[in-house]
């Protein structure tokens, strides 16, 4: 069969989606001169070969998944996805079409008239009446018909379910009365899809009806509907004595998970009260380990001359990737009859396949249509001949190419020419064609290769080698990619473990945040610098990113607004062990010149799974397998990744103060610039010269309003305990001030000058005065006066004063918490006095609440007085200043 060149004729073209038809769903059946065809869309076409035109197009309410013909009743059964099975009477169909023939030609030109390209009269599309639905069931995946029994396979939530129905006729009341049997294929689990949104299955199961030789089922009719008659021997061996004795047809079922199982039809008569026991009724023949796409039967041994009708003596099941199972009866060494199951490998992925009447199987891949001949040309089994290959199966299958590519559905035409075969094929481009093959018996055996075809053979080998090497390289690439992804994942896992397992002490990967002022484009900017330090043994590689979230506190005037957050994501570009990496971010002030303190900066490490794994899951090889990419994309939802929090840092007023008065001329510390960064203002300000008054409302306020003041006292003892040895050599006042401004860039200058009070500038340009002095508190403690330190915050801007006050209190709180943890005891206090203070505060707080409520409701004029009162109360709240002991 070397050099088999088929004669290909194109019959018609059908519309197909962009990218061609997908395999698996298109179907084609022949009945006489009529070809019934579905391309996987909602349409079913009826094409007449003799007249060479489309005679009817039916439109169904959903995708058509399967077709079966019941020739005796002249009925076409159609499985419509998620709807059920419809039944069309063929006689009725032709009548309705002939009526439409006289109609306007453009009647049905909703995109379907182009189906008939070759100048045929466009047949109109007949929408199928919903009443034609004989078996409504949304879970059906495939079905087959045998005489007047409809065998369906439905996908339940956990298992496949096979059901038997009396074939319903159109118009008959369908389901419940007709059901005669049911069994669950419980051992085979259907693919777990998301139960909420049932997606179209990638591979549909395959059903095939097999009858024993002596059965009274009409054979010709069996063949038409995808069924076969099998030789008694193989039948009995595969399906058991019971099936043989009952002469019962057997349903073979190939599932997408690779199971090949069989159900003896006559045993499957059950009802709701007497369910089928799957263990007794379902027999698993084999597991192909890849989706079964085709089941067929062949006649492999030569027939005696006088035998009229041939029965198949060999069953074939084909997997998606080309794995092929061949089952045949044979004798073992002892002379016992045994079934032989042998697996072969054919080139895949298999799009579709078909079996002819003889020993040839045709199967189609995206690149080729091949013939495989399973004929056993040796002598029939002879016990005297010891080397008879068991089962008479070839040890290797040699597919012969027909040079037709991407055929999505195949059918062997019943009108085969003498000594040959005729195939009907639908290509992925939607073209219907016939291939005539000459399979004459003089085709040489592989041993008798002539010189003429040796060259051809070598050519084929070479091209075969080429495709194999191509495939190998692409597979290698895919493997490399996956290995890399696995390495990355492993590394990420290590990093995560290292970070998450250290609860105390320094973490192996740390991030510290510092702030500083810098001048950017004539405007002063507070910038945060995040220093990522990797002291672990692992490196942060591709896929890792540092996420910095900057969370500003809300303004008083926008109470109802949630505080705003900005997140910066910066990919980490390989950070090896021991190395560090710095990121600088602007914190503000924004365009309006306002910096809402305090600002919280939190740093997180993020590992994007999509970036690392996504590439490896989608193979980029040329053998693009439709089954892979869709699944792989489902694995990774959007935004999937690992998130590891590193640090959280709060930037408050004390860190943002600048001290121009301290700046030494040679130091490059940037002096404060007016936040209104209008160059003209700057120029004018410069012209007025130093000492001149600042313009703007803030300065005016500074001039005419008394500064706001707040003070906090804390006992010297507490401070000493906190500061420890660090203040030795300096007065406690200076040490306190240094402690307060420890995170400020100017702390070194402070330390150098030993100041106890300092005048700073807030980010918006107003003054903030910090004064630290020693005081004595007399009336609080029973033991006598207490030495205390008073920290006074003074600012012309009330807001800045509050921010600074808040910052100072924050520091104190932290300190008190630490001290409390160390367990220092406070001195004896006058409880009465404390109570008084607390009662006062509580009363004031209550007033604050009522005032604030009022403020929300009142009109503008009255609200001003309320606001003033509110400020007053706030001041009172602060004024018997807080004392910390």
Regarding 334 and contact with another protein (CB under 8 A), the answer is yes
CA 230 to chain CA mean position, Å: 46
Name the segment binding another protein (CB under 8 A); options: 238-246, 500-508, 827-835, 851-859: 238-246
From the list 269, 472, 566, 688, which residue makes contact with another protein (rule: CB under 8 A)?
Answer: 269
**30-35 contacts: CB < 8 A, separation 24 or more?**
30/224, 30/411, 30/413, 30/414, 30/424, 31/69, 31/71, 31/90, 31/224, 34/90, 35/411, 35/424, 35/432
| Cα–Cα distance for residue pair 174/654, rounded to 1 Å | 83
Decide whether 231 or 596 has the Cβ nearer to another protein: 231
The b-or-e profile of 654-669 (16+ CB within 10 A means b, else e) is bbbbbbeebbeeeeee
Q: How far is the CB of 659 from another protein (least distance, A)?
A: 45
Name the segment binding another protein (CB under 8 A); options: 106-114, 264-272, 574-582, 766-774: 264-272
In sequence order, what are the beta bridge partners of 263? 251, 282
Decide whether 339 or 508 has the Cβ nearer to another protein: 339
Q: How far is the CB of 335 from another protein (least distance, A)?
A: 5
C-beta separation of 1 from 438 below 8 A: no
C-beta separation of 395 from 410 below 8 A: no
Q: How far is the CB of 295 from another protein (least distance, A)?
A: 22
Regarding 164 and contact with another protein (CB under 8 A), the answer is yes
| Cα–Cα distance for residue pair 554/831, rounded to 1 Å | 37
Q: How far is the CB of 148 from another protein (least distance, A)?
A: 6
- Closest by CA to 718, choosing from 781, 636, 787, is 787
Regarding 39 and contact with another protein (CB under 8 A), the answer is no
Decide whether 171 or 880 has the Cβ nearer to another protein: 171
C-beta separation of 433 from 11 below 8 A: yes
Instruction: For residue 104, give the 3-state DSSP assignment.
Output: coil
Decide whether 193 or 696 has the Cβ nearer to another protein: 193
Residue 837 CB: number of other CB atoms within 10 A?
Answer: 14
| Residue 593 exposed, middle or buried by CB count within 10 Å (0-12, 13-18, 19+) | middle
Regarding 61 and contact with another protein (CB under 8 A), the answer is no
Decide whether 198 or 576 has the Cβ nearer to another protein: 198
C-beta separation of 464 from 59 below 8 A: no
User: Which residue reads 């926008």 in tokens?
Assistant: 558
- Counting residues that bind another protein (by CB under 8 A) gives 53
Name the segment binding another protein (CB under 8 A); options: 35-43, 71-79, 126-134, 296-304: 126-134
- Binding residues for another protein restricted to 239-258, rule: CB under 8 A: 240-242, 244-247
From the list 111, 216, 639, 821, which residue makes contact with another protein (rule: CB under 8 A)?
Answer: 216
- Closest by CA to 841, choosing from 882, 885, 789, is 882
Name the segment binding another protein (CB under 8 A); options: 233-241, 607-615, 627-635, 676-684: 233-241
Regarding 130 and contact with another protein (CB under 8 A), the answer is yes
From the list 79, 80, 255, 265, which residue makes contact with another protein (rule: CB under 8 A)?
Answer: 265
Q: How far is the CB of 138 from another protein (least distance, A)?
A: 9
How many Cα atoms occupy the beta-carbon half-sphere of 300 within 13 Å? 26
Decide whether 392 or 394 has the Cβ nearer to another protein: 392
Instruction: For residue 635, give the 3-state DSSP assignment.
Output: helix
776: tokens are: 């004595």
Decide whether 268 or 425 has the Cβ nearer to another protein: 268
Name the segment binding another protein (CB under 8 A); options: 232-240, 490-498, 505-513, 695-703: 232-240
Decide whether 79 or 550 has the Cβ nearer to another protein: 79
CA distances to 34, 55, 115, 417, 512 from 51, rounded to whole Å, are 10, 9, 16, 20, 83
| Cα–Cα distance for residue pair 64/277, rounded to 1 Å | 32
Q: How far is the CB of 677 from another protein (least distance, A)?
A: 43
Regarding 197 and contact with another protein (CB under 8 A), the answer is no
Calculate ∠ Cα 789-792-742, nearest 5°. Answer: 75
From the list 50, 106, 173, 504, which residue makes contact with another protein (rule: CB under 8 A)?
Answer: 173
Regarding 645 and contact with another protein (CB under 8 A), the answer is no
CA distances to 318, 580, 698 from 326, rounded to whole Å, are 9, 63, 93
458: tokens are: 């070598």
Regarding 272 and contact with another protein (CB under 8 A), the answer is yes
Regarding 337 and contact with another protein (CB under 8 A), the answer is yes
Name the segment binding another protein (CB under 8 A); options: 260-268, 425-433, 632-640, 693-701: 260-268
Regarding 192 and contact with another protein (CB under 8 A), the answer is no
From the list 23, 75, 93, 133, which residue makes contact with another protein (rule: CB under 8 A)?
Answer: 133
Binding mask 134-163 for another protein (x = CB under 8 A): --x----------xxx-------x------
| Cα–Cα distance for residue pair 359/496, rounded to 1 Å | 60
Decide whether 247 or 611 has the Cβ nearer to another protein: 247
Give the contacts of 880 (CB within 8 A, at least 6 positions apart): 837, 840
Regarding 233 and contact with another protein (CB under 8 A), the answer is yes
Decide whether 111 or 157 has the Cβ nearer to another protein: 157
Decide whether 336 or 668 has the Cβ nearer to another protein: 336
Q: How far is the CB of 245 from another protein (least distance, A)?
A: 4
Regarding 280 and contact with another protein (CB under 8 A), the answer is yes
What is the dihedral angle through the alpha carbons of 741, 747, 750, 755, rounded to the nearest 10 degrees?
10
From the list 306, 308, 333, 638, which residue makes contact with another protein (rule: CB under 8 A)?
Answer: 333
Q: How far is the CB of 391 from another protein (least distance, A)?
A: 16
Decide whether 47 or 86 has the Cβ nearer to another protein: 86
C-beta separation of 287 from 346 below 8 A: no
Name the segment binding another protein (CB under 8 A); options: 226-234, 527-535, 680-688, 845-853: 226-234
Decide whether 241 or 452 has the Cβ nearer to another protein: 241
From the list 3, 17, 275, 827, which residue makes contact with another protein (rule: CB under 8 A)?
Answer: 275
C-beta separation of 681 from 661 below 8 A: no
- Binding residues for another protein restricted to 348-387, rule: CB under 8 A: 383
| Residue 531 exposed, middle or buried by CB count within 10 Å (0-12, 13-18, 19+) | middle
Residue 607 CB: number of other CB atoms within 10 A?
Answer: 25
Q: How far is the CB of 265 from another protein (least distance, A)?
A: 6
Binding mask 283-322 for another protein (x = CB under 8 A): ----------------------------------------
- Binding residues for another protein restricted to 389-448, rule: CB under 8 A: none
What is the dihedral angle through the alpha carbons of 357, 359, 364, 367, rounded to the nearest 10 degrees?
-140
Regarding 843 and contact with another protein (CB under 8 A), the answer is no
| Cα–Cα distance for residue pair 564/551, rounded to 1 Å | 6
Q: How far is the CB of 436 from another protein (least distance, A)?
A: 36
55: tokens are: 């005679």
Q: How far is the CB of 698 from another protein (least distance, A)?
A: 42
| Cα–Cα distance for residue pair 110/104, rounded to 1 Å | 14
The binding site for another protein (CB under 8 A) comprises 130-131, 133, 136, 147-149, 157, 164, 173-174, 176-177, 180-181, 195-196, 213-216, 231-233, 235-237, 240-242, 244-247, 265-275, 277, 280, 333-337, 383
């Amino acid at each position: 069969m070397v050099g088999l060149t088929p004669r290909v004729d194109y019959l018609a073209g059908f519309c197909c989606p962009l990218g061609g038809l997908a395999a698996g769903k298109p179907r084609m059946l022949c009945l006489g001169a009529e070809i019934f065809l579905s391309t996987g869309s909602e349409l079913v076409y009826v094409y007449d070969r003799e007249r060479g035109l489309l005679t009817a197009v039916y439109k169904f309410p959903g995708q058509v998944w399967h077709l079966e013909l019941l020739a005796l009743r002249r009925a076409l059964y159609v499985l419509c996805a998620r709807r059920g099975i419809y039944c069309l009477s063929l006689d009725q169909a032709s009548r309705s079409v002939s009526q439409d023939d006289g109609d306007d030609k453009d009647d049905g030109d909703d995109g379907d008239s182009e189906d008939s390209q070759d100048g045929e009269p466009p047949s109109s599309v007949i929408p199928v009446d919903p009443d034609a639905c004989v078996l409504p069931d949304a879970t059906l995946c495939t079905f087959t018909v045998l005489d007047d029994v409809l065998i369906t396979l439905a996908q339940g939530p956990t298992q496949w379910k096979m059901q038997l129905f009396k074939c319903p006729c159109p118009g008959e009341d369908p389901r419940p009365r007709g059901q005669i049997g049911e069994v669950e294929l419980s051992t085979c689990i259907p693919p777990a899809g998301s139960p909420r949104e049932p997606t179209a299955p990638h591979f549909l199961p395959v059903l095939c009806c097999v009858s024993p030789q002596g059965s009274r089922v009409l054979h010709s009719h069996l063949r038409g509907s995808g069924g076969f008659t099998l030789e008694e021997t193989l039948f009995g061996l595969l399906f058991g004595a019971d099936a043989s004795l009952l002469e019962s047809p057997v349903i073979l079922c190939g599932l997408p998970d690779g199971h090949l199982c069989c159900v003896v039809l006559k045993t499957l008569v059950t009802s709701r009260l007497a369910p089928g026991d799957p263990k007794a009724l379902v027999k698993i023949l084999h597991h192909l380990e890849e989706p079964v796409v085709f089941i067929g039967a062949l006649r492999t041994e030569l027939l005696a001359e006088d035998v009229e009708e041939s029965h198949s003596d060999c069953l074939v099941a084909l997997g998606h990737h080309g794995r092929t199972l061949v089952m045949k009866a044979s004798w073992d060494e002892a002379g016992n009859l045994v079934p032989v199951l042998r697996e072969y490998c054919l080139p895949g992925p298999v799009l579709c396949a078909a079996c002819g009447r003889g020993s040839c199987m045709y199967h189609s891949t995206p690149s080729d249509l091949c013939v495989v001949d399973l004929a056993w040309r040796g002598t029939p089994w002879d016990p005297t001949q010891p080397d008879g290959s068991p089962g008479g199966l070839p040890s290797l299958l040699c597919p012969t190419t027909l040079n037709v590519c991407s055929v999505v559905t195949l059918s062997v035409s019943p009108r085969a020419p003498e000594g040959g075969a005729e195939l009907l094929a639908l290509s992925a481009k939607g073209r219907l064609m016939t291939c005539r093959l000459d399979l004459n018996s003089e085709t040489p055996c592989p041993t008798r290769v002539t010189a003429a075809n040796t060259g051809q053979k070598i050519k084929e080998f070479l091209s075969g080698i080429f495709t194999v090497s191509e495939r190998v390289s692409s597979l290698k690439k895919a493997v490399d990619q996956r290995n890399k992804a696995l390495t990355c994942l492993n590394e990420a896992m290590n990093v995560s473990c290292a970070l998450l397992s250290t609860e105390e002490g320094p973490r192996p990967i740390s991030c510290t945040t510092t702030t500083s002022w810098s001048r950017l484009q004539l405007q002063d900017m507070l910038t945060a610098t995040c220093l990522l330090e990797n002291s672990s043994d692992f490196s942060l590689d591709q896929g890792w990113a540092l996420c910095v979230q900057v969370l500003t506190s809300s303004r008083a005037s926008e109470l109802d607004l949630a505080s705003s957050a900005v997140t910066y994501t910066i990919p980490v570009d390989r950070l090896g062990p021991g190395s560090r990496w710095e990121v600088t971010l602007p914190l503000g002030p924004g365009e309006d010149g306002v910096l809402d303190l305090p600002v919280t900066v939190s740093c997180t490490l993020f590992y994007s799974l999509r970036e690392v794994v996504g590439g490896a899951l989608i193979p980029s090889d040329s053998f693009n397998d439709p089954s892979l990419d869709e699944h792989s994309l489902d694995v990774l939802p959007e935004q999937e990744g690992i998130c590891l929090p590193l640090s959280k840092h709060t930037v408050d007023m004390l860190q943002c103060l600048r001290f121009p008065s301290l700046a030494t001329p040679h130091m490059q510390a940037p002096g404060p610039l007016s936040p209104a960064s209008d160059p003209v203002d700057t120029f004018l300000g410069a012209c007025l010269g130093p000492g001149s008054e600042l313009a703007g409302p803030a300065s005016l306020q500074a001039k005419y309003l008394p500064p706001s003041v707040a003070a906090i006292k804390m006992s010297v003892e507490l401070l000493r305990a906190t500061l420890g040895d660090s203040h030795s050599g300096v007065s406690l006042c200076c040490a306190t001030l240094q402690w307060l401004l420890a995170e400020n860039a100017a702390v070194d200058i402070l330390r150098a000058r030993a100041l106890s009070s300092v005048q700073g500038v807030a980010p918006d340009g107003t003054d903030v005065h910090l004064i630290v002095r020693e005081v004595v508190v007399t009336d609080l403690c029973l033991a006598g006066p207490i030495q205390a330190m008073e920290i006074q915050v003074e600012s012309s801007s009330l807001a800045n004063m509050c921010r600074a006050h808040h910052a100072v209190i924050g520091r104190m709180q932290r300190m008190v918490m630490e001290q409390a943890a160390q367990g220092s005891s406070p001195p004896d206090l006058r409880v009465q006095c404390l109570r008084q203070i607390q009662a006062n505060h509580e009363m004031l707080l209550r007033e604050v609440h009522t005032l604030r409520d009022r403020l929300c409701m009142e009109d503008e004029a009255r609200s001003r007085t309320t606001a003033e009162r509110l400020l007053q109360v706030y001041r009172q709240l602060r004024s018997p200043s807080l004392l910390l002991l």
